[in-house]
Amino acid sequence: MRIAFLVAPEGVEQVELTQPWQAVTDSGDTPQLVSTEPGKIQAFNHLDKADTFPVDETLAEASVEAYDALVLPGGVANPDFLRMDERAVSFVRGFFDAGKPVAAICHAPWTLVEADVLRGRTLTSWPSLRTDIRNAGGQWVDEQVKVCTGGPNTLITSRKPDDLKAFCVAFTEEFAKA
């Protein structure tokens, strides 16, 4: 399986990119870093710059059809940037329209709010997104991981970096079913 990891040019929480990336690799699947711009993305350890990572494909080159699933890492700035980019929002919405699984952690559901794909869905996130998710028609729960199959696709969400182990297990299991 080819798994798209959608991130902004900067602001992704490094551990929320690297641990899920490793989980995808360990499961025998192929992760691909997709971003709005070519080159490298700048990851962060909370507010401090961390490592850079090479972009495999830009949104201008990427298509939903080329991927089997989508992972949306968090960080505060990353999803805030993505939700302001119509190509990113359309790319995310495309996975829901195609019935492909999507995994999102921490602040990443902000992009899902903007894509208008949360009506009738139950999910978790960083707690400060609770009202945004409810206003977008979703039901927010405070759980380590939430797998929601009540929609056009499977949506796997998690709250924070401390939940990464459970998040990685849950989304790799769900992706394998797709």
Residues classed as catalytic: 106-107
Alpha-carbon span 126 to 142, nearest angstrom: 9
Q: Which amino acid is at 42?
A: Q
Alpha-carbon span 39 to 146, nearest angstrom: 33
CB 55 within 8 A of CB 34: yes
Nearest to 43 by CA among 69, 86, 78, 19: 78
By DSSP bridging, strand 155-158 and strand 145-148 are: antiparallel
Alpha-carbon span 37 to 59, nearest angstrom: 8
